[in-house]
Amino acid sequence: MGIKPSCQKIEEERTVFLTKENEVYRIPSLFYDRDNKIFMAFAEQRSTADDADAKQLVMKTGTLKMEESTGVRTIEWSELKVVKEAHLDGHRPMNPCPVYEKTSKTLFLFFICVQDGITERWQRFWGCNRARLCYITTKDGGQTWSGVTDLTHLPDINEWATFAVGPGHGIQTESGRLIIPTYAYASCSASYCCISCYCAVPHALALYSDNKGSSWEFGRMLETKSVECEMAEVSDDAGKNYIYCNARSEGGYRVEAIDTGAGFKILPSAGKLVETGKGCQGSVVSFPAVSEGATSDSSPNKWLLYTHPSDQCKRIALGVYLNKTPQDPNGWSKPWIINSGPSGYSDLAYIGDGWFACLMECGVQKETEQIKCEVFHYSQVENGIAGKEIVFN
């Protein structure tokens, strides 16, 4: 049987970036501007799916709409726009990672610019960084952007084989601190290196600013080997805030850590968040705790929502996981599968009143066929985790 016209229309609306011949979209990044009630979706446009073939960053803006007869919420997206300001001559921009400064109403779009023709593999092998740390800013929802600010002068970068931000999104804490999730390959000593090994070891860490983005510095690295990460601010019943980090590993299970103010401490794995194959990026957001089935953004307590392929071998079956006790890795639920087929990188955004949006790589044959966006409510998450059938109408 064919797809009903209304269902087909909704499915088409979920597609944000569609891969075509010689035009592949990867590395989704999502930001929801609560001040202006708009979404901003970013991605890399590549000539092939390979990292070395990234060409430019692109974006779309979107507005949330609801179909009155069904209550289904979708996002109406603008035409694609090239973020031409995110550019350094002789380099390719990669890993979009936005963070919003609420006081000045400024969106910082961080990214790295990697020298053309140079791969991460090459940098790791030779211990020679060819990536630059950059950002641009906008105050009007991406209609206009500033020029590039290059932060590669920060002293820590000189000690790394290479590094990257995100990808995904950064956060602003209640205290005002801006945080960009980062990972870096710490260079090994020349005496240890050999021609047959890559001894540069990756570690996740935070890039942060305490003066609304005027200056930036790096925090301390996680002690455990860890790669791409995202972070969220959570709080307990006593109202104490801390930073949670969820990072990619190279097999087995995800790396989780918390920072209560003295640097990140690794949480013992409970074996509930599996890593996929050699690893895959995942996304995490915090949101106000739900009380007796009611959603309210006034709760001081924060829970976590996390998305990642749920298969331990292949990038398939994107799952949504819930943790009501973020300091306890045993608190993670079973996954609610929101995309059963090929699934890759994803990025979550909390909209408010219990609503979320997830921008994800997915497809029928492979995960690089498109980047689509699903909008769902907390009640759907709970029902999906409980094994009840949930249908995106």
Query: Which of the residues are catalytic?
Result: 51, 345, 361
**Token pair belonging to 85:** 């300001």
Residue 312 neighbours by CB under 8 Å, 6+ apart: 274, 275, 276, 277
Measured CA to CA, the distance from residue 44 to residue 82 in angstroms comes to 10
| Residue among 284, 308, 305 at smallest CA distance from 367 | 308
| Residue among 286, 216, 203, 288 at smallest CA distance from 249 | 203
Q: What angle is formed at CA 310 by the lines to CA 307 and CA 316, rounded to 5 degrees?
A: 100
- DSSP 8-state symbol, 188: P
Measured CA to CA, the distance from residue 253 to residue 308 in angstroms comes to 11
Q: How far is CA 344 from the centre of its chain?
A: 11
- Residue 261, Ramachandran bin (φ over 0: left; ψ between -120 and 50: alpha; else beta): left
Could you tell me the strand order of the sheet in which 370-377 lies?
15-18, 370-377, 355-362, 336-352, 316-323, 302-309, 283-288
Measured CA to CA, the distance from residue 172 to residue 185 in angstroms comes to 25
Neighbouring CB atoms inside 10 A of 57's CB total 26
